[in-house]
Structures are given as structure tokens and as C-alpha cells.
Amino acid sequence: MTDHALIKRLPELSDRDFSIWQELLEERLGLQLPEQRRSFLKTSLAIRMRELGYDNYLDYYRYVRKGDAGLIEWNMLIDRVTVQETRFYRDPAAFTLARDFLHKRARENQRPLALWSVGCSTGEEAYSLAMLTLEELRRDGANPQRRFGVTGTDVSLQALEAARRGSYSSRRVENMDKRLVERYFDTDGLGYAVKFEVRDRVCFTRLNVLELSRSPMKDLDLIYCQNVLIYFRKWRRKEIVSELARRLAPGGLLILGLGEVVDWKLPELTRVPGERVLAYLKRK
């Protein structure tokens, strides 16, 4: 049966069903699902319910909430209900700012640089940060073997699995600078695998941004968090960003997505001037 035929056969997602699913997604992930995303939720649930043999949303909801089996199912479902779109060097203005910052930071500071991609999805952002740092150290004539590390975190186990594989289709790299592709990927003409030199600098681990207070991440030189908070309520965004800011080392840089946080200030942070990037420096 095609997905279209399947969705037609499933009962409507009633207001009540929609609202219990909305609450679950917000409680566990922070995601706020507005009315416009109702059909997206219905389709995502419907496809998964069909795979498991459920024919109503409430029974499936109860299953997901219950016990270890429910937890395993929930982890599978996260992948279906979150937006994981990403690209290498997705936001050029933000990467330019990151590059200039790292250039200065590497000169000022001899300790290893620590970078963090929050909500890294399938890894492109974290690998881009690693390539950017390697390029910067090279350009600067600094020792490219100088130590630095990028941590990529996400709540989706499947996305993290793909990130750790570090293999991408040619479509995923087609808009990248060709020199970078040649330098940092192995290819058999069809797929592109991130080279060891880059992978060696990056690690991926699971972290729900609602549980940041439990994470050991600290003393970061650069925190990069884009296109994650847009799905959250404003008060939650501010809370998460404050928590991220706390994890910056003095002089560290926090880069967010444009417009993702407004009316937000912390005494220890200074907004980096510029309209194309939303970024803050932590006072030294």
C-alpha cells in the first residue's frame, strides 16, 4: 500500500489525540508543534503505526509511554518527528565569523580548542567546524596537528549513527568548495567519506537540550547552535541559551541562528555586532 493510501485509511487525528501528542513532544523534546504541523504529525505517526500494526493514535501513545519497550519505540519515533535538515557550511556568514574567531583564539590561547555543535543532526555541521579549524590552523602556519576537538550532540540516535558513519552522498557535498571536498573526503565517485584527519577530531554523543544541566560540557571556546531552538517556546529558548552561555570559557563565542532568540541579555555576554549573524562573546 502506498503511504497516501495508508494515510487515507487511518482515522483522523482528533483534537484530543493531537493535543496529547503535542504535549508529549513538548515535554520530552521541547518541540512545539503548531496546528500547521498537524498533518506532518499525522503522517509521521501513521506510517510508524502501520509498521507496528496500530490503528489508533491513543493506543500507540499509551504504548510509547509505557516501560522499556515504549522507551525504545520513543527513540525510534524521535527520528520521525524532528526536522533533521542540515548541510555542510550551512550558514556562510556564521562560518566566516567562526573562522575569524578561531584564528584569533588559536593565537591567544595555547590550550586545545574545544568546539560544540548543539543539535548536530547527521554531522555536517560538526565536520564543517572541524574542517574550518583545520583550514585555519593551516592558513595560519600553525601546527595543523595542534589539538582541538569538536563535540556534536543531538537527541536523535539515528541521526548520530549517520553522523558517526561520516559517509555522504555526492548530493550532500555538491555545493561545497571543491578544494575542501578533495582535501577532506575520500570518494569512490558515488559516496564521500570524511577522512580520518577530520573524523579523528570529532566525537558524537547523545544529549537532549532539555537536560543540559546534567551535561559535563564546559569551558567551550565555540558553541554553535543553529536551527534547533526555532521549534521551542521563547521562554525555553532563553533558558537553554543561558545554560549554553554558562558553558563557554571566558572569551568564548556562542553562535545562534538569526532571530532564534530576541530580547535576551546576560551580563557576562556581549553581542557581536552585525546583522547577518546572531552571536555573543563571553567576557574574559
Ligand X SMILES: C[S@@+](CC[C@H](N)C(=O)[O-])C[C@H]1O[C@@H](n2cnc3c(N)ncnc32)[C@H](O)[C@@H]1O
Which residue ranges make up the site for ligand X (CB under 6 A)? 29-31, 82-86, 90, 119-121, 125, 154-156, 159, 208-210, 226-228
To ligand X, the closest distance from the beta carbon of 107 in angstroms equals 28
Q: Residue 113 or residue 163: which is nearer to ligand X going by CB? A: 163
Q: Which residues pair with 186 in a beta bridge?
A: 193
Q: Residue 252 or residue 257: which is nearer to ligand X going by CB? A: 257
To ligand X, the closest distance from the beta carbon of 180 in angstroms equals 17
Q: How far is CA 105 from CA 114, 244, 272, in A?
A: 11, 19, 15
Report strand pairing: 220-225 vs 248-256. parallel
CB 135 within 8 A of CB 169: no
CB 256 within 8 A of CB 229: yes
Q: Residue 129 or residue 137: which is nearer to ligand X going by CB? A: 129
Report strand pairing: 269-271 vs 278-282. antiparallel
Q: Which of 30, 21, 22 is nearest to 232 (CA)?
A: 30
To ligand X, the closest distance from the beta carbon of 151 in angstroms equals 13
To ligand X, the closest distance from the beta carbon of 84 in angstroms equals 4
Q: Residue 6 or residue 93: which is nearer to ligand X going by CB? A: 93
To ligand X, the closest distance from the beta carbon of 126 in angstroms equals 9
To ligand X, the closest distance from the beta carbon of 231 in angstroms equals 7
Q: Residue 185 or residue 224: which is nearer to ligand X going by CB? A: 224
For residue 169, the Cα-to-chain-centroid distance in whole angstroms is 19
Q: Residue 61 or residue 89: which is nearer to ligand X going by CB? A: 89
To ligand X, the closest distance from the beta carbon of 82 in angstroms equals 4
Q: Cα-atom radius of gyration of the chain, to the nearest Å?
A: 21
Q: Residue 142 or residue 157: which is nearer to ligand X going by CB? A: 157
DSSP 8-state assignment for residue 59: H
CA atoms within 13 A on the CB side of 70: 10
Whose grid coordinates read 533533521? 84
CB 240 within 8 A of CB 229: yes
